[in-house]
Amino acid sequence: MKNFRKIILIASVISLACAQTYAASFKPVIPQATMQIAKEAEIRTAHLKPSSEVVRVGIATTGFKTYDYKEISIYGTDEIQIYNGHSLIAKFPANYHIKVSYNDGQYRIFDTDGSIIEEISGTPTFTCNDGLLGVTGLKRAGKNALYHGALQLTPKNSTLFNLVNLIEVEDYLKGVVPNEMPVRFGLEALKAQSVAARNYVLSPRTKASPNYDVVDSVASQVYYGANTETTLSDEAVLETTGIVALYGWDLILAQYSSTAGGYTESYAYAFSDPKTKAFPSEGKPYLIAKPDILSQPPLNTEEAAAEFYKSKPDSYDVRSPYFRWTREWSAEEFRKALESTLIAQSATGFVKPAFVKGEKLGEIQSIDVKKRGESGKIVELDITTANGTYKIFKELVIRRLITKDGKALPSANVVFETGYDDNGKLVSVKAYGGGFGHGVGMSQFGAGFMGSELKLPYEKILQHYYTGITLGTKPVILSADESQQETTQHFYTNDKKTEIVVDNKFQVSKLLADINGKEYEFELCKGFLGSNRVCRIDISKHLKKGLNTVTFRYPSEEGSKKALRLFVEIVKSEGTADIW
């Protein structure tokens, strides 16, 4: 079953042929009658489906220099197969490095003696049903990069192609979680990270490229593949299988950063609108400023921010090396640092007036914070020079603008202390700060402390950092439409009350469900004009501790003009879910 599951993973993109195993010493086999083989494989595996959604991950070269390739060499730790559409092109033994070049829209696949095995157009796909796939010379975290799923070569233009890893989300997360959070933070923090990372990859987005959904670098999430997996982080992914964080009926934007510094910030005061670039942006109700110690008042005044960031109050972030930090400059050092960064940061549109090449900054006269967020994060900053005043907005721009030894400030949670001589001339600048990163949503060091020291479960960690959320499966729609008649969800429970939440806007009479192999029929509540239209069905007694599988089916007798929206709720929000 495990081998066929790997095969059927790629069936969401292409129909795959079933490969036969053979001794590693054999030369590559170029099969005959490949279409018939593929057809037989489809029949044998038609009942199998991926256990989670399939994601397309763009894989960069070593050092993340580029996502564009002209040639590549791919191998498998076990037998490897190559497909072109429905056709099985060739099979190779384990550790057989297959060179592929690309030019004029054609791929050439070479044997080790340099002879051409095949010339094809399209998208060659490599699978390794009983092992992992590797790319010759590709390193991640100092190790040979290895991947679950399949590797596909997708044309970018007539001379370049992209390397895409087609992989189930749950397997993808195993290569993300230990690279986004230190494993030493413990199981519960890693579970919280697993949910946040799952939210990220499953949330609707503008694709990184037409050829892939996300990339394997910090531009999306750090994904280093199977060779960086650990037992504890794998356990965290398993024990949160299928679970996402929801606000109402939507997956939240599960922002996280290394260290909040003791007080997280609201989304609006850290990020600009992704489309209009307006700043502050429209807020998100689940990403609001929150102190670790709830009695702490807001830090939006200079006095409050200075008191907080010049001291070390109780905080979940105390173990972070960036919980508190300082930086110092002479006035001339500060001026030179600004001159080196102002042009690039002006290009963002958040420096007014823009500083252009050839301008002289002039002597720095003052640094004035005009506005702070609740966490004390600088939202608007004035830097006055002999040649004028520059207004700087947005935390990322501020911390990239103000550098020390070429390095950006760890965060914009910073208080400046300036020194002047007897003539009123600026001579020194000192920064007192706290945190590392944007400080919105989950603080990873804070999550580690909450899980390992306070022994809090992952759901409590998430509910602290993401206000008013529910934990459950991704909401789905059931209807008479062929693509929506049936849907299967896999999720992990651990002795928690579990309910199916159904938005019965269209007055459907019942819901059909197969829960861990047993069929059930649930009567649904009915209401009008929004009254009583959200039904809750307790299925706790039908579940087992651990991994569960539920297949929902639309009752065909209800006709084609109705639909249901639903999800499985694992942990209830304190608030109520919005409806259609």
Looking at residue 393, what is its pLDDT? Answer: 97
Residue 5's pLDDT band (boundaries 50, 70, 90)?
Answer: very low
- Residue 111: pLDDT over 90: no
In this prediction, residues 193-213 reach a mean pLDDT of 91
For residue 353, whether the previous peptide bond is cis, meaning omega lies within 30 degrees of 0, is yes
Looking at residue 492, what is its pLDDT? Answer: 96
Residue 525's pLDDT band (boundaries 50, 70, 90)?
Answer: confident
- Residue 242: pLDDT over 90: yes
In this prediction, residues 315-327 reach a mean pLDDT of 98
What DSSP assignment string belongs to 280-293?
S----TTS--EESS
In this prediction, residues 517-535 reach a mean pLDDT of 82
In this prediction, residues 375-385 reach a mean pLDDT of 97
- Residues with Cβ within 8 Å of residue 237, at least 6 apart in sequence: 170, 173, 174, 177, 194
As a whole number, the mean pLDDT across the chain is 89
User: What is the rounded distance in angstroms from the CA atom of residue 277 to the CA atom of residue 17?
Assistant: 48
- Residue 181: pLDDT over 50: yes
- Residue 282: pLDDT over 60: yes
- Residues with Cβ within 8 Å of residue 98, at least 6 apart in sequence: 28, 73, 74, 75, 80, 82, 92, 109, 110, 126
Q: Which of 35-44, 83-92, 253-262 has the lowest mean pLDDT?
A: 35-44
User: To the nearest whole percent, how much of the chain has pLDDT over 70?
Assistant: 89
Looking at residue 414, what is its pLDDT? Answer: 98
Looking at residue 117, what is its pLDDT? Answer: 86
For residue 457, whether the previous peptide bond is cis, meaning omega lies within 30 degrees of 0, is no
In this prediction, residues 319-329 reach a mean pLDDT of 98
- Residue 225: pLDDT over 90: yes
Looking at residue 207, what is its pLDDT? Answer: 82
- Supply the DSSP symbol for 299: -
Q: Which of 207-211, 377-381, 417-421 has the lowest mean pLDDT?
A: 207-211
- Residue 513: pLDDT over 90: yes
- Supply the DSSP symbol for 18: P
Which of these, 270, 277, 152, 254, lies nearest to 209 by C-alpha position?
Answer: 152
Domains and CATH numbers, the chain: 2-173 (no CATH), 257-319+439-465 (no CATH), 325-431 (no CATH), 473-571 (2.60.120.260)
- Residue 38: pLDDT over 50: no
284-316 pLDDT per residue, tens? 999 999 999 999 999 999 999 999 999 999 999
User: To the nearest whole percent, how much of the chain has pLDDT over 90?
Assistant: 82
10-23 in b/e form (b: 16+ CB < 10 A) is: bbebbbbbbbeeee
Cβ-count burial of 353 within 10 angstroms (0-12 exposed, 13-18 middle, 19+ buried)? exposed
* Largest separation between any pair of C-alpha atoms in the chain: 90
In this prediction, residues 254-269 reach a mean pLDDT of 97
CB count within 10 Å of CB 503 equals: 20
Residue 502's pLDDT band (boundaries 50, 70, 90)?
Answer: very high
Q: Which of 83-92, 261-270, 409-418 has the lowest mean pLDDT?
A: 83-92
Looking at residue 112, what is its pLDDT? Answer: 79
Looking at residue 531, what is its pLDDT? Answer: 58
User: What is the rounded distance in angstroms from the CA atom of residue 56 to the CA atom of residue 149?
Assistant: 10
| Cβ-contact 315, 293 below 8 angstroms | yes
Please name the residue ranges forming H helices in 347-394: none
Looking at residue 208, what is its pLDDT? Answer: 80
- Token pair for residue 182? 């230190």
Residue 377 phi/psi, 5° resolution?
-65, 135
The pTM for the full model equals 0.89
Higher pLDDT, 228 or 25: 228
Q: Which of 22-26, 229-233, 238-242, 531-535 has the lowest mean pLDDT?
A: 22-26
What DSSP assignment string belongs to 97-134?
-EEEEEETTEEEEE-TTS-EEEEE-S-EEEE-TTS-EE
CB count within 10 Å of CB 145 equals: 23
542-580 pLDDT per residue, tens? 999 999 999 999 999 999 999 999 999 998 876 533 333
Q: Which of 158-162, 371-375, 462-466, 576-580 has the lowest mean pLDDT?
A: 576-580
Looking at residue 50, what is its pLDDT? Answer: 61
Looking at residue 85, what is its pLDDT? Answer: 83
In this prediction, residues 168-180 reach a mean pLDDT of 97
In this prediction, residues 276-281 reach a mean pLDDT of 95
- Residues with Cβ within 8 Å of residue 174, at least 6 apart in sequence: 148, 226, 229, 233, 234, 237
In this prediction, residues 220-234 reach a mean pLDDT of 97
Please name the residue ranges forming H helices in 310-439: 331-346, 395-401
User: What is the rounded distance in angstroms from the CA atom of residue 80 to the CA atom of residue 229?
Assistant: 22
User: What is the rounded distance in angstroms from the CA atom of residue 552 to the CA atom of residue 531?
Assistant: 24
